[in-house]
């Protein structure tokens, strides 16, 4: 299933005149303040976020899962879903695969399918936090950190396989998230676990093609509840440094202890040229994996402030790989992702509005009141007309959620797929 | 020192035409959505927040304090400062005194002074967390909870004295914040401490004039670091119920454990008719007492959503007493308070925009995506023109921070008062 | 499978002389301090903790589950497992069923089986957090709080069915844990959700036999990640009060926000006569459901101090229902439960050693140093010989983990059951 | 005032026979398990913790301070107080000075005084978190991170002065704790602040004598409440690496976000050879600075497990500098410190009892149950007789708190000094 662009245009038409008035008013105000509207829209158009293949069906918790209908059950259908999202939003031009859930049978066909949806393959993700049928060794007590060399080798080999798959699809990076850790004091030797993890990551790093990057994710807890080997950005950075130049830290917004200042971590990593990837979601308590911007939109904006600053001022840092990493337990997964994309665009647009020169001057004058005024002026601006303008320019829908509903896409998916259930989590 | 309204008008004039264009555009859009602009402005004009007398000078931490200049050193000067804020913002029409720091010598003169600034005296605050010179008994080990009856009686008598002072000034409520608690396991008997506190509060309650209310504050920790007698809203509500109908819980935004859902507490208390008072501030870690809206503006908005809902739907709950309770460690205290007032007005205005009928319908349809859209539509709206309109109607400044600076008010205060240091914390 | 007491005696024999020396030394020291050894042992023998039927197999997280072998797959096998634990520890004389996972077919046979293992049926647990096959209505958006009356009625009826089942087995209480809540701001109306929950609970309460108790559990988050209807003890207590005299709050150690002072909550509830039930586990981050005492044994001891105090001084509070509520993700579930039971006994024994008279005196003297010395003196005492003595007197194993291993019980279970997988979570 | 050793001996005599019996019993049991009692006692005797000069008087919070009596007001008196503590405990053989509070007038006399109390001068501490009278520049907006070079230079020079003072006294290390940070988003540029801090620290590092070490402390918040430049161990380690070989991270137990796994941080730093110093205290909520071991003794034990492991297995890490960094708000400061020292010795002793070979074997077998048994066996052992034996061997008091009271030391200090108030915090 593929969206006909005419359908989107028809829907847009109904809102176009109101949009134009809103946009003109906002553009005029922003230009008065010295913004270059066209440049802003171009940046918004260029900002593309990968959708992970496992996030297109209903997620759940250890207490259960309430399924949704019309979920994709094949890689083809997953690509189709991301294609729909991208058609509507024009900000989801990539898909991130998870192996072994998404091993293609016919690589050429899969590449062509993705291409037909205007999608590229972003970072590939390995999975050593679950046991696979027929695997000789279990990851119950760790994978890359395991004290048993045979388990480590199996996990390293799996990562190599994932790289090989990604390579065939045009991916250029591997994301390693490790559940490795301990649930009880004394369960493992911290130093042995860390050292084993380092050696394993170094092996994987060395096996990557020369133009590939390695992203090392960190997380303080869950599924282990006493310690996690890569518990924070400091550990991740240390390991990335041990691996080499093309190894980076990956920040997932939900992977922090309560009250962590994440924007400062982002800023430090970009200063060091080591922020490789970024996973978006939102949370109130732990790794809640909620819709981006649904709980703490101001934090997201502050983080984007640092990302924008780094992209402008830190040539030592590569352009980060963006991905949504959320779980859709009670909303339609596609609607949930669209809301996330809107929130990301909003935070990005607002961060772009911050007058960095004025801010710098206020900072140098210790004028804290004014610093806050400058930051909040950007945040308080209603940037939706700007985002809509970017959508229109790219061929997307002015209001993607509304368009998704008017086009009856979920019903069509159900009609086509039935109550099929997504593979994966 | 009192502001001449003409000065404010002169400053407003410069921004008036731009404001008018902004306002017209916004008003038009909001009316399209079914809002009654005039009603919104009236509500904003009516919303008044008390300023506590102790927040007009620089605050500090246990590690020290960096003083600001031109701080008020007498009650008269504190009233003058609140008067300035109120002239600019027209949302600070009350002052909240702290005894023993603000005992008037000439009540008539003080009342007339406040009146001349268009200020009333809101809730009075007692202090049993510090020892006063010449007090026979120490609160080192608790005041209302103390195992020693003589200490409790001294603390009860102090509260009665505070009521008497407030009564002469026209206050109608007493706020009791207790630092009482323990810093070490075993230090006190929880049940004895709670029971003593209950009896003490009941004595204070009984001594109040018939038209007074008692506000019981809660806080999980600080200055005690193991337990606090009134640690949460549940304890406060229990005590309020034991006291009687005119005893209520007071919510201070900073007095919660990490990740607490405060809006739900607000909603529950209003359902029970027991939300008496509300202290505004913001925080990232603990009771940080930062400028309102500077850290978590979306949370503030969600809390206001519940406050607005309760004010509309819970006749069993009295109109709450609003107060800013922040500490101004590095900003000019008056600027800090003005920024807080702006953030409060903004959150209130946005909460008023939520289409409650649509929201209710979406909730009944389990349409979680739409619920979020409705809530976020209100939050994403730039309501500053609306707030400015309310200011203009009330005779305040379109942009109070800017006006404060253009009028050179801090310099004038320094010129008048010198580097005097505020009394209090 | 049932343990032959002779086998335990044989194993005990090897350790008996060393135990006797240890016990004599400790008993002598404790008697010097004024303790009555026999009374202590009697109390330890009398302390019985229920084992939930769902905790006898491997648990997991949303990221997966690593199964263990020889898990029970029928209610009969679950009773058998609890019987084994009880034979070894003599502190697990009850089983707590979860419906619909454990509906007996032949009640008489099940009661006789439990009786043969010296087990009684403690509180029964309902399940409205998952949908059951063939249920007409889904709990995806709440059960007792649901805005749809038909959903609420289905959930109420389920609870009534659970009571009926429990009644036939001799249970005398119903534990209601609700996952009901919202994952996004705006998703539901807090006041409607709370009021619906109250009415539903009142219906359930009224349907209970006259000698039954209702236990209302609270939890701040998970599986909902924005708000939970019964988020804290204050809400639970309020609901219990609305239901009636035989409705109580149930405390689960893992159901609190970071840094909550749980012992103070316990103390307050017992003062109010409203602590009905208690779920033991341990945690570092959230509701981690780890082995009791494995992370914060001192907190557990402080909680037991309040429980002991309440049991001695609060006749208004009924004897609480004790249960272990943990998840066994990487240990043998039976070993995990045995370690939990040991930790509970240890904390209880140490709490019993606190010299309450001395403590009271030190508290009245504000002698904080001495208060801490008294508390820590009890905690620092090695009470293992005391617990072993209680085991021996009751016919259990001196060292239950060791005995479990020496008797090869897991191997025997595997031999009998194969790699069967437990039903439930 | 100096303690006569005979007085201690007289007091010890009364408890000696009971101690001997307790010790013999414990020693026998421990030897059965393969421990070398003499080696354990030697290690306990050798373990010395520095007392900071500012912790000998009453601390307080921003809400006030309740003073204690007989506080030291001069450096001489502070040394005297540490001397008393050391005489009783024999584990406090060092003092840590804070400049500018403790600048000696006569270095030779001060050194001789310390020597007469058997004390050495451990790490010296600089203070750039408060303004000093007559300082030309303020640290209100940061010291080493400040955007103003003149402020940074003043702060660097202060640190150099502190080194010079320490050098004359025999200190060999400088501890830098920075309050530098921001209380509001946008207030400062993270990257500029971090870079300035790095350059400043490098200047200080370079100015140190060749045999000195630099300890860089980290802390997530307080006194700044939005961000702190050195917010975590990762930032500290990065800065230490930028400075050079003799720069290290310093861990203060209270300087972590909720639920942080501190023992893992300790382990990682020792693996990297970068754990330089360690500040002991305890806390439930934030940097509460409570008596060591009063809240989470098991965590302390787990941390000591890693410290012991590192001291045995990580020759790359220097022997860490130990210090108590607590605030004594309601206890007699000397008693509070003595309780802290006891808790430290206890945790150390228990960690020494862990059978590392058995643990390693259990870890390699993934025998999580047994790992926990081994760890808990050590923790559950009552090691007080062992600690007392170490005290006796060193000439200290069997029960130092008791001895302190029997000798009436506080009364004597009051008699000598009156109600004088300590300088400092």
Q: What is the mean pLDDT of residues C157-162?
A: 98
How many beta-carbon pairs under 8 angstroms link A with C? 109
**Taking CB atoms and an 8 Å cutoff, what residues of chain A touch B291?**
372
**Contact indicator for D305, D263 with CB cutoff of 8 Å:** yes
Cβ within 8 Å, pair D291-C372: yes
CA C123 – CA C279 distance, rounded (Å): 11
Answer yes or no: is B424 within a domain: no
The DSSP-derived string for A33-102 is: TT--HHHHHHHHHH---EEEGGGSS---BTTB----SS---SHHHHHHHHHHHHHHHS---EEE-BTTTT
Answer yes or no: is D424 within a domain: no
**Taking CB atoms and an 8 Å cutoff, what residues of chain D touch C332?**
369
CA C131 – CA C158 distance, rounded (Å): 12
Q: How confident is the model at residue A420 (pLDDT cuts 50, 70, 90)?
A: low
Contacts with B344 (C-beta within 8 Å, 6 or more apart), sequence order: B47, B49, B91, B280, B292, B293, B300, B322, B324
Cβ within 8 Å, pair C285-D372: no
User: Given a cut of 60, is residue A422 above it in pLDDT?
Assistant: no
Q: What is the mean pLDDT of residues C245-256?
A: 98
Residue C296 contacts D where some CB pair is shorter than 8 Å: yes
pLDDT for position B67: 84
Quote the crossing angle between the two packed helices C190-207 and B297-313, to the nearest 10°.
60
CA-based nearest distance B324→chain D, Å: 17
Tell me the whole-structure pTM to 2 decimals: 0.98
User: Given a cut of 60, is residue C421 above it in pLDDT?
Assistant: no
pLDDT for position D1: 80
User: Given a cut of 60, is residue B276 above it in pLDDT?
Assistant: yes
CA B144 – CA B160 distance, rounded (Å): 13
CA dihedral B261, B266, B267, B272 (to 10 degrees): 130
CA-based nearest distance C246→chain D, Å: 35
Residue B282 contacts A where some CB pair is shorter than 8 Å: no
**Contact indicator for B270, B306 with CB cutoff of 8 Å:** yes
Q: Where are the beta strands (DSSP E) in C47-169?
A: 50-52, 94-96, 120-121, 124-125
Cβ within 8 Å, pair D62-B62: yes
Q: How confident is the model at residue B155 (pLDDT cuts 50, 70, 90)?
A: very high
pLDDT for position C368: 98
Q: Pick D63's closest partner by Cβ from B223, B226, B285.
A: B223
User: Given a cut of 50, is residue C93 above it in pLDDT?
Assistant: yes
Rounded to the nearest 5°, which phi and psi values hold at B305?
A: -55, -45
Tell me the three state secondary structure of residue B6. Answer: helix
CA C169 – CA C188 distance, rounded (Å): 38
CA B286 – CA D221 distance, rounded (Å): 10
Q: How confident is the model at residue D165 (pLDDT cuts 50, 70, 90)?
A: very high
CA B58 – CA B421 distance, rounded (Å): 8
**Taking CB atoms and an 8 Å cutoff, what residues of chain C touch B199?**
none
Instruction: Print the domain residue range for A106.
Output: 5-417
Residue C68 contacts A where some CB pair is shorter than 8 Å: no
CA B30 – CA D222 distance, rounded (Å): 43
CA-based nearest distance D321→chain A, Å: 21
Answer yes or no: is A110 within a domain: yes
CA-based nearest distance A170→chain B, Å: 34
pLDDT for position A425: 46
* Mutate: best of A128, A223, A254, A289, partner C, most C CBs <10 A: A223
* A330-361 pLDDT, tens digit each: 999 999 999 999 999 999 999 999 999 999 99
CA-based nearest distance A263→chain C, Å: 22
Give CA separation, B332 vs B81, B297, B337, in Å.
12, 21, 9
Nearest CA in chain C to B299: C185
CA B258 – CA B262 distance, rounded (Å): 11
Residue D225 contacts A where some CB pair is shorter than 8 Å: no
Q: What is the mean pLDDT of residues A111-134?
A: 96
Residue A221 contacts D where some CB pair is shorter than 8 Å: yes
Give me the residue label for tokens 């264009």.
Answer: B21
Q: How confident is the model at residue B418 (pLDDT cuts 50, 70, 90)?
A: confident
Residue B67 contacts D where some CB pair is shorter than 8 Å: no
Residue B298 contacts A where some CB pair is shorter than 8 Å: yes
Closest C-alpha to C54, from C72, C80, C67: C72
Cβ within 8 Å, pair A330-C140: yes
User: Given a cut of 70, is residue C423 above it in pLDDT?
Assistant: no
pLDDT for position C162: 98
pLDDT for position B424: 47
Q: Pick D294's closest partner by Cβ from C285, C332, C372.
A: C372
Answer yes or no: is B425 within a domain: no
Closest C-alpha to D335, from D81, D39, D12: D81
Q: Pick D223's closest partner by Cβ from B63, B140, B179.
A: B63
Q: How confident is the model at residue B1 (pLDDT cuts 50, 70, 90)?
A: confident
CA D238 – CA A241 distance, rounded (Å): 11
Give CA separation, B176 vs B143, B144, B215, B220, D352, in Å.
11, 10, 6, 15, 50
**Is there a cis peptide before residue A7, judged by omega within 30 degrees of 0?**
no
Q: Pick B382's closest partner by Cβ from A291, A382, A401.
A: A382
Q: Pick D186's closest partner by Cβ from A259, A271, A371.
A: A371
Give me the residue label for tokens 């109040």.
Answer: B208
Q: What is the mean pLDDT of residues C200-216?
A: 98
The DSSP-derived string for D378-399 is: HHHS--HHHHHHHHHHHT--SS
Cβ within 8 Å, pair A191-D140: no
Residue D133 contacts B where some CB pair is shorter than 8 Å: no
Nearest CA in chain A to B333: A369
CA D294 – CA D302 distance, rounded (Å): 15
How do beta strands D120-121 and D94-96 pair? parallel
CA A352 – CA A133 distance, rounded (Å): 48
Q: Pick C267's closest partner by Cβ from B186, B191, B366.
A: B191
**Taking CB atoms and an 8 Å cutoff, what residues of chain C touch B370?**
none
Residue D399 contacts C where some CB pair is shorter than 8 Å: no
Q: How confident is the model at residue C420 (pLDDT cuts 50, 70, 90)?
A: low
CA-based nearest distance C26→chain D, Å: 10
Q: Pick A369's closest partner by Cβ from B25, B332, B381.
A: B332
Tell me the three state secondary structure of residue C274. Answer: coil
CA-based nearest distance D225→chain B, Å: 6
pLDDT for position D420: 56
* Mutate: best of B139, B188, B190, B369, partner C, most C CBs <10 A: B190
As beta bridge partners, residue A248 has: A215
* Mutate: best of A17, A339, A369, A374, partner B, most B CBs <10 A: A369
**Contact indicator for A298, A282 with CB cutoff of 8 Å:** no
Q: How confident is the model at residue D421 (pLDDT cuts 50, 70, 90)?
A: low
**Taking CB atoms and an 8 Å cutoff, what residues of chain D touch A258?**
257-259
Answer yes or no: is A423 within a domain: no
* Mutate: best of D363, D370, D374, D379, partner A, most A CBs <10 A: D363
User: Given a cut of 90, is residue B419 above it in pLDDT?
Assistant: no
Q: What is the mean pLDDT of residues A1-16?
A: 94
Q: Pick D297's closest partner by Cβ from C261, C298, C331.
A: C298
Answer yes or no: is C423 within a domain: no
* D336-383 pLDDT, tens digit each: 999 999 999 999 999 999 999 999 999 999 999 999 999 999 999 999
Helices (H) and strands (E) in chain D, counts: 15, 11
* Mutate: best of C382, C401, C405, partner D, most D CBs <10 A: C382
Q: Pick C284's closest partner by Cβ from A63, A225, A425.
A: A225
pLDDT for position C424: 47
Q: Pick B225's closest partner by Cβ from D63, D140, D284.
A: D284
Cβ within 8 Å, pair B234-C231: no
Contacts with C215 (C-beta within 8 Å, 6 or more apart), sequence order: C123, C173, C174, C175, C176, C248, C249, C250, C276, C277, C321
Closest C-alpha to A375, from C79, D165, D236, D189: D189
The structural domain count of chain A equals: 1
* C364-409 pLDDT, tens digit each: 999 999 999 999 999 999 999 999 999 999 999 999 999 999 999 9
* A317-328 pLDDT, tens digit each: 999 999 999 999
Answer yes or no: is C424 within a domain: no
**Contact indicator for D217, D236 with CB cutoff of 8 Å:** yes
Domain CATH code at residue C96: 3.20.20.150
CA D92 to chain centre: 10
Answer yes or no: is B100 within a domain: yes
Terminal C-alpha separation, chain D:
24
Residue B69 contacts A where some CB pair is shorter than 8 Å: no
């Amino acid at each position: 299933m593929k969206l006909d662009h005419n359908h989107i245009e028809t829907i847009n038409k109904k809102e176009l005149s109101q949009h134009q008035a809103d946009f003109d008013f906002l553009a005029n105000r922003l230009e008065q303040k010295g913004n270059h509207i066209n440049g802003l829209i171009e940046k918004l158009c260029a900002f593309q976020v990968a959708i992970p293949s496992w996030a297109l069906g209903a997620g759940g918790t250890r207490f259960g899962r309430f399924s949704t209908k019309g979920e994709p059950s094949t890689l083809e259908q997953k690509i189709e879903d991301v294609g729909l999202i991208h058609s509507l939003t024009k900000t989801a031009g990539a898909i991130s695969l998870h192996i072994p859930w998404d091993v293609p049978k016919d690589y050429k066909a899969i590449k062509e399918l993705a291409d037909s949806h205007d999608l590229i393959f972003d970072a590939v993700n390995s999975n050593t936090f679950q046991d696979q049928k027929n695997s000789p060794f279990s990851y119950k007590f760790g994978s890359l950190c395991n004290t048993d060399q045979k388990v480590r080798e199996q996990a390293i080999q799996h990562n190599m396989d994932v790289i090989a798959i990604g390579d065939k699809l045009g991916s250029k990076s591997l994301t390693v998230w490790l559940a490795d850790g301990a649930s009880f004091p004394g369960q493992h030797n911290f130093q042995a676990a860390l050292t084993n993890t380092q050696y394993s990551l170094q092996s994987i790093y060395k096996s990557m093609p020369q133009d590939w990057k390695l992203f090392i994710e960190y997380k303080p807890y869950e599924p282990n509840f006493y310690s996690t080997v890569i518990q924070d950005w400091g550990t991740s950075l240390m390991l990335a440094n041990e691996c080499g130049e093309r190894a980076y830290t990956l920040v997932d917004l939900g992977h922090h202890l309560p009250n962590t200042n994440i924007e400062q971590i982002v800023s430090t990593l970009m200063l060091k040229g080591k922020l490789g990837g970024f996973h978006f979601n939102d949370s109130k308590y732990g790794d809640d994996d909620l819709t981006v911007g649904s709980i703490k939109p101001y934090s997201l904006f502050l983080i984007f402030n640092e990302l924008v600053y780094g992209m402008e001022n830190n040539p030592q840092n590569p352009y980060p790989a963006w991905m949504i990493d959320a779980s859709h337990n009670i909303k339609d997964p596609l609607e949930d992702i669209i809301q996330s994309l809107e929130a990301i665009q909003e935070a990005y647009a607002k961060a772009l509005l911050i007058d960095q020169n004025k801010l710098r001057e206020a900072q140098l004058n210790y004028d804290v009141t004014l610093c806050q005024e400058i930051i909040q002026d950007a945040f308080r601006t209603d940037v939706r007309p700007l985002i809509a303008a970017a959508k229109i320019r790219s061929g997307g829908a002015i209001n993607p959620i509304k368009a998704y509903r008017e086009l009856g896409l979920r019903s069509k998916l159900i009609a086509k797929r039935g109550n099929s259930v997504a593979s994966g989590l």
